Chain A
């Protein structure tokens, strides 16, 4: 019974938190650009408006993919709050992205296909880092299960500082923020045509937007994992992390995919690797 309640709470609360954070993001971004900015609740108004529009599509199957994107994200969040296997959660998250990519490739639109391929390149960049992060957590705690990971005696960040840096790095890609907002941009300052979501409109776009909010919550839950022992520290860490992402988003211009791939594979994966090897030696060999 308890689990059902937790699931329900996660399904209902996540989009609210995600939407609010997006609203805050827009407000802070506006202030950084010397604008007044929309009200914090603006993302919700946008979403309701999207859902009130008539359904316009290029191809029928787009609806399916948008729905799958949302569903996979919800499943991933639910699995997280039910404290299940981290690796599987990561796989599910990857399938959400796959669904979005397939949705963009389902039409013959050049813009959305370019977006789709850039998203694929992003997957190529961040996926190894994310898996490395989970394996490192396994080395420290001896489990892939969140349930057991949370029983770890101290803050995970103490053992995994470099992994955390690498994760924050790929978080920029995953949140599709500058300088790595290659597949689509959340704000209008980078491009006129919105890449991977170009061909989605109305309620179908609404599904994707909603999916993004779940995705955001899940990613921030990953941040929480590093500080889980102390809830206060965790909240502060999440807020700082998110604020930093917004700052970086606003002070940097988009980089090309080649630079992204090189940087992620060398810097972020390098950081993750160093940390991975030392926890391996520390917890496995010693």
Chain B
């Protein structure tokens, strides 16, 4: 059994090595396909095995222990070198600090062996599902995308080998992150994801991408340092570095300081305010990178850590403040999304906002909050992967990622436009699951009135920016020439992900019962009367009386009814839009002396009210204050 988990981690890494060394397009394609298939199969197999705690043979364990310890220092050295290369003293300093702290710590306490090397519970399984299904699909999409991307850049020598090697490394590291039990190993994989995201963001090697990648590296290095401090405190407070022992620890009060530091690390990785800027900067990278960072890797590592540690700090003051901080990110990122006309920025802010909601839900002491947090990780992952890939395709199709240029996209790129619509509708409307998690969020957040107010406002903002976005995707345009050609490599992954978006929502209760409830049962045994209450009570039949299947049933009925009504009201006549009868056509009117004056109408971005810069400044200050409060609470 252990070999399965080792495969999940090391196989993609080995594949990465091959891809890197052999820069040949067909070989690369073959290996990406092969790896994708293997990853999906292996992940599904490991999931069929359920919860596991894996002990390795003593010798193998020692070898891995030394390997990872060594690789960890090596990794920090690489980051240090990169920082020197970038002439960024701050990153260098942060890398040195991590190195020194880690070294002194490991030197002083000696060997920190953990008996169960891999601790795979149902939360890990949920993450494995997300990483190993969505990740490979994005990689396959990228095969077609990067060919086109490099054509635009006019590169003499393809750099795709580096690109796909990093993606494979990234997936392996994510697998390691979610199944490792030793928090030092988690830290190692955590740092790999930091490095990978730096390399991916700077992939195009132009000034802007390097600048933004540097910022990502800087902010994530702060998180890395915070992680190291968290580990050290954790060891000295509880005498263990094993995650499974920490989350079943009986006295959570002594763990508040390490948890606060680890939460801060999670905030940086999940781009919570005030660390959001790196994720926004990350969109200069080729779109598959954004899709990967936003859906199945990187940012999900942060929320994974918070949800993993949730049993320790839930129901404490720290938990209350983490909930307020998460909900604050939810509302402020949703507000900032309203000002955006760049589709990728809208999506980025929406991700940040949803991650905030996941963090808030993870720290509210309510059974349904934990359920919703775990569900939202998956629901958001699939929808956002779809949306980013669609926006990337649109960008290559029409040469712009601005929402204002998407008029008539439904004529130009019908397939992608429809899938974009599906993706954005799944983030907002019933019967899709994201809505259900938002609904749960409001109902359970009544425990924490500040977080609740934030969620109330954020929920209103969310409706506004998604409606604007959906409105544009559906709107009429002047040009109706189809520019989209069906490409196998591009459209098949998109369609598979779309199918997943729908399937996850349809079988939401089944998914909850199969994956989320067992996670809750095992991790939160001490809380909310889990142990005393009948286990059967934990399973959900529906969400507050509403079964997603009923929702979808109603939807199907409505579609049928709609089709009938449409037949009844079948338009007899088409007319131009109303323009006081001075139309030239639908896009221009007759002005003075019958001169044709074209007009255009843009979405409102509230520029006259305030702007992104001012709002960002205010929310950054407030969120820094919240983090200060978070640390203030734990210090005694």
Residues of A within 8 A of B (CB): 54-61, 63-64, 67-68, 71, 75, 84-85, 87-88, 91-92, 94-95, 98, 101-102, 105-114, 116-117, 120-121, 123-124, 127-128, 131-132, 135, 138-139, 144-145, 193, 198-199, 203-204, 258, 261, 273, 276-277, 280, 284
Q: Does B587 contact A (CB under 8 A)?
A: yes
Q: Once the chains bind, are B569 and A117 in contact (CB under 8 Å)?
A: no
Question: A105-B472, A131-B456, A199-B578 are contacts. A55–B569 as well, Cβ < 8 Å?
Answer: yes
- Complexed CA–CA distance, A156 and B608 (Å): 40
Point out the residues of chain B lying under 8 angstroms from A61, CB to CB. Answer: 474
- Complexed CA–CA distance, A204 and B251 (Å): 64
16 more CB-based (< 8 A) A-B contacts, given A68-B558, A106-B474: A58-B575, A63-B565, A71-B561, A85-B546, A87-B442, A88-B546, A102-B467, A105-B472, A105-B474, A106-B475, A110-B577, A110-B601, A117-B468, A128-B457, A135-B452, A199-B578
Binds A, one of B78-86, B199-207, B233-241, B458-466: B458-466
Min CB gap A50→B, angstroms: 11
Q: Which of B428-457 contact A (CB under 8 A)?
A: 428-430, 435, 439, 442-443, 446, 449, 452-453, 456-457
Q: Once the chains bind, are B464 and A57 in contact (CB under 8 Å)?
A: no
Q: Once the chains bind, are B562 and A64 in contact (CB under 8 Å)?
A: yes
Question: A55-B572, A108-B577 are contacts. A88–B439 as well, Cβ < 8 Å?
Answer: yes
Question: A58-B577, A120-B467, A138-B446 are contacts. A85–B544 as well, Cβ < 8 Å?
Answer: yes
Q: Once the chains bind, are A108 and B476 in contact (CB under 8 Å)?
A: yes
Q: Once the chains bind, are B565 and A56 in contact (CB under 8 Å)?
A: no
> Which residue on A lies nearest to B587, using beta carbons?
A108
Q: Does B24 contact A (CB under 8 A)?
A: no
Point out the residues of chain B lying under 8 angstroms from A139, CB to CB. Answer: 446
Point out the residues of chain B lying under 8 angstroms from A87, CB to CB. Answer: 439, 442-443
Point out the residues of chain B lying under 8 angstroms from A110, CB to CB. Answer: 577, 579, 599, 601
> Which residue on A lies nearest to B457, using beta carbons?
A128
Question: A117-B604, A121-B604, A144-B443 are contacts. A64–B566 as well, Cβ < 8 Å?
Answer: yes
Q: Once the chains bind, are A55 and B571 in contact (CB under 8 Å)?
A: yes
- Complexed CA–CA distance, A60 and B464 (Å): 24
User: Range of interface residues on chain B?
Assistant: 35 or more
**A58 interface neighbour in B468, B470, B574, B601, Cβ under 8 Å:** B574
Q: Does B545 contact A (CB under 8 A)?
A: yes
Point out the residues of chain B lying under 8 angstroms from A273, CB to CB. Answer: 453
Q: Does B471 contact A (CB under 8 A)?
A: yes
Question: A128-B456, A131-B456 are contacts. A55–B570 as well, Cβ < 8 Å?
Answer: yes
> Which residue on B lies nearest to A261, using beta carbons?
B609
Min CB gap A218→B, angstroms: 17
Point out the residues of chain B lying under 8 angstroms from A258, CB to CB. Answer: 608-609
List 13 interface pairs A-B (beta carbons < 8 Å), by A numbering: A54-B573, A57-B575, A63-B565, A63-B571, A102-B470, A108-B476, A109-B579, A116-B471, A117-B603, A117-B604, A131-B460, A144-B544, A261-B609
Q: Once the chains bind, are B442 and A108 in contact (CB under 8 Å)?
A: no
Q: Once the chains bind, are A91 and B435 in contact (CB under 8 Å)?
A: yes
Q: Once the chains bind, are A71 and B558 in contact (CB under 8 Å)?
A: yes
Q: Does B586 contact A (CB under 8 A)?
A: yes
Q: Does B110 contact A (CB under 8 A)?
A: no
- Complexed CA–CA distance, A154 and B374 (Å): 39
Q: Once the chains bind, are B571 and A98 in contact (CB under 8 Å)?
A: no
Q: Does B576 contact A (CB under 8 A)?
A: yes
Min CB gap A123→B, angstroms: 6
Min CB gap A229→B, angstroms: 23
Min CB gap B415→A, angstroms: 17
Q: Which of A75, A107, A135, A145 has the most CB of B within 10 A?
A: A135
Q: Once the chains bind, are A91 and B474 in contact (CB under 8 Å)?
A: no
Q: Which of B539-590 contact A (CB under 8 A)?
A: 544-546, 554, 558, 561-562, 565-566, 569-580, 586-587
Q: Once the chains bind, are B545 and A85 in contact (CB under 8 Å)?
A: yes
**B474 interface neighbour in A102, A117, A198, A203, Cβ under 8 Å:** A102
Question: A85-B544, A113-B601 are contacts. A58–B459 as well, Cβ < 8 Å?
Answer: no
> Which residue on A lies nearest to B608, using beta carbons?
A258
> Which residue on A lies nearest to B586, using beta carbons?
A108
Point out the residues of chain B lying under 8 angstroms from A132, CB to CB. Answer: 453, 456
- Complexed CA–CA distance, A275 and B174 (Å): 47
> Which residue on B lies nearest to A118, using beta carbons?
B604
Min CB gap B403→A, angstroms: 12
Point out the residues of chain B lying under 8 angstroms from A121, CB to CB. Answer: 604
